[in-house]
Amino acid sequence: MTSTRGVPTGPAASRPLVVGLGSPDRGDDAVGVVVARAVATRHLPDVDVVAHEDPTDLVELWSGRELVVVVDAVRSGAEPGTLVVIETGAGGERLPESAWGRTGRGGTHAFGLAAAVELARALHRLPGRVVLVGVEAASFDHGAPLSPAVGAAVHTALDAVLRVVVRGTAGLGTVGHGQHDEHDKHDEHDNGPTPRRSREGAAGVPG
């Protein structure tokens, strides 16, 4: 099991890392964690999965990686359950303010996620590819489950993540609530390991 601390080298550095970002006990804020758990059940042998709550630790979590996918709840004013996928990376340009407004500053971890990406870029610790998968949230009530619209979008977000880590394509753009790629459907009853969790994100991750 690969540690979520320190800079991976060798084979570990070449493995994609999926980070489910969010608070597991704040309604739709848990969607990143739920999607990360779903990725872990796919038994992908060369993919590391982490559920994490604090975006300020992302620079350490992804340092040394070549490909990272971050899944998070966002709030941009779109219909709840809408999916948006944006890609950046060490070799790319900074995303425009409008793009960050949809997946970063409009999200529940707004400043932290955007700041983590740009801090990592400034420190030359940003992975070559960073794909942000945002799910439009409806509610962040403490102790609440996922809202129906966001719960229905989990499979769509899972498809988006698998498209990146398995096929290598990001499918950038926005997907309306309830839409997903028919070719990316998977058996909902697969069993597998729980995500590898960072120290701060380990407690209270929904089962």
DSSP three-state, residue 80: coil
Residue 77's nearest CA partner among 52, 103, 46, 116 is: 103
pLDDT along the chain (207 residues), means of 10: 43 86 92 97 93 88 93 89 92 65 51 75 92 92 95 97 88 58 41 33 33
Q: For residue 143, what pLDDT is reported?
A: 93
Please give the order of strands across the beta sheet that includes 173-175.
Answer: 173-175, 83-88, 129-136, 67-74, 17-21, 48-52, 196-197
Q: For residue 66, what pLDDT is reported?
A: 93
Where in the chain are the domains? Answer: 21-181
Q: For residue 185, what pLDDT is reported?
A: 41
Measure Cα distances from 116 to 22, 32, 98, 123 in Å.
Answer: 15, 17, 17, 10
Q: Which CATH number fits domain 21-181: 3.30.300.30, 3.40.710.10, 3.40.50.1450, 3.40.50.300?
A: 3.40.50.1450
Measure Cα distances from 99 to 22, 88, 128 in Å.
Answer: 20, 11, 19
Measure Cα distances from 30 to 36, 64, 181, 204 in Å.
Answer: 10, 26, 23, 10
Q: For residue 18, what pLDDT is reported?
A: 97
Cα–Cα distance measured from residue 94 to residue 117, given in angstroms and rounded to the nearest whole number: 9
Q: For residue 1, what pLDDT is reported?
A: 30
